[in-house]
Amino acid sequence: MLLLWFICASLVPPTLGRDCACATGSVHVRSGAGVGHSSLGILSPGQCVTYRGNQVQNGGLQWARVEYNGHDAYVAANWLRFQACSGATTNSQQLPGCPRIISRAEWGAREPSTHIPDLAHTPQMVYIHHGATRGCTTQNECAAIVRSYQNYHMDTHGWDDIGYTFVIGEDGNIYEARGWDKFGTHTRNHNHDGLGFCVIGDFTSHVPNTAAQNAVKQLIQCAVDNGKIRHNYIVKGHRDVVQTSCPGTKFYELIHSWPHYMKDH
């Protein structure tokens, strides 16, 4: 009987304190227990959410009840491991409808040198940048370049952190920089009124690939849908407000055709 109790207990995930459910592979977060419920987002491998301490069975799967963006949600437990939240990688940036966002922990970010304040108001502006560096098409390549951006901003410019809100790779991923709601250091005299999205690469003579273009557009739509920018948002290139060649001539010409682009405001 003691042996049976031990075996059963080892199969039950922890329920004391703040425990986390961490994805072992890419897995949908659903509004209810079962594949028939709507998907609220996708957890990437290693991404963790708070486990609410109970499971239900549906369709031959165990569904763990979790907290996702402040709401009850369910994830198939077959693709989860359960652990104490201390040391777990959570990603508060992954909002419903967003393309995949690689957390700071995942790309190996340094800690900011000081506290980064929140924006005072919901921003209206989206400022488009390019990194003016080599490009990348894999997560490992892109993560290394994002680290180099952070090092340059902090060690050469003396900034508190990487300056952008998010960085976008031609691998189709979004990389968390300062993240939603945070005051940036991306567009001089306009850090208070907008978010700064930087695409990795130099787009003087060519445009970003389709994966990167779609990721930026989806990120903007996600920001609108989740109240991170205003519905009447305005897109500008960095060079529209600062004397610079950023975001590269060809990319700058491309964004002229995007919805909500406005040169003069």
Rounded distance between C-alpha atoms, residue 101 and residue 215, angstroms: 10
pTM of the model: 0.69
Q: Give the helix ranges, DSSP H, for 18-102.
A: none
CA 123, CA 126: separation in Å to the nearest integer?
8
Q: Quote the pLDDT of residue 90.
A: 59
**Based on C-alpha coordinates, what's the Rg of the chain?**
20
Per-residue tens of pLDDT for the chain, all 265 residues:
433 333 333 333 443 345 888 888 888 989 999 999 998 877 777 778 888 889 999 999 999 999 876 678 999 999 998 887 755 555 668 787 788 888 888 888 999 999 989 999 999 999 999 999 999 999 999 999 999 999 999 999 999 999 999 999 999 999 999 999 899 999 999 999 999 999 999 999 999 999 999 999 999 999 999 899 999 999 999 999 999 999 999 999 999 999 899 976 5
Amino acid at 125: M
Give the integer Cα–Cα distance in Å for 190 and 184: 9
Spatial separation of the C-alpha atoms in residues 19 and 85, rounded to whole Å: 5
State the pLDDT at residue 43: 79
Sequence-ordered alpha helix ranges (H) in 108-247: 139-151, 210-225
Q: What is the pLDDT of residue 175?
A: 96
Write out the DSSP string of 127-149.
EEEE--S---SSHHHHHHHHHHH
pLDDT reported for residue 93: 80
Phi then psi dihedrals of residue 148, to 5 deg: -65, -35
- At residue 106, φ and ψ (nearest 5 deg) are -70, -40
- Cβ-contact 172, 214 below 8 angstroms: yes
Closest CA to 201 of 148, 150, 131: 131
Q: Which amino acid is at 208?
A: P
The predicted pLDDT at position 12 comes to 39
Q: Measured in Å, how far apart are the chain's first and last C-alpha atoms?
A: 75
Domains of the chain in sequence order: 7-84 (2.30.30.40), 101-255 (3.40.80.10)
